Chain A
């Protein structure tokens, strides 16, 4: 099946620890995105990548890092510098052509122990 796969579904972080959230897509999409969602709020853009080996900061990039070494993969690392990491993280992708529609993964819920 084609789609966007996020893993794990649930993740727990200890204080001072870095954790990495996985996002893989087999849709052959050029662009990929990471969003953070807090209860009762919309989606806030963390990082995005429009092409392999290139990425840009979104609105709330501090405390996060990404890489885009392969077209199908866009992992997000939540570093120890992110003091309030508890949230629902969503990965999305789109083809990179006109009439761009973002398609979302099922999300990863990150909690702090």
Chain B
């Protein structure tokens, strides 16, 4: 079946450090790929997405590139801030009447001043 694998957390970084959160997927078709962010006590917010191979999604300084050859969608940010502390979920979606979204287990990021 479809699945998403994320790196285990928590990830602790100093402010202004470079961030990479790895995400790989397996899917039977051609999925769309997403990163969602969940701030403490809140629901999930869409951070960025990519719908086809080699697309790059970007938002708020974060970016991720859809790599079909390596089935990956790694999240990166050049300089993290304390306000980026949150849980990040990688997800894939395959349409079929309704959107079946498969989520990774989430990676908690803590940025310290």
Do these two chains really belong together in a complex?
no
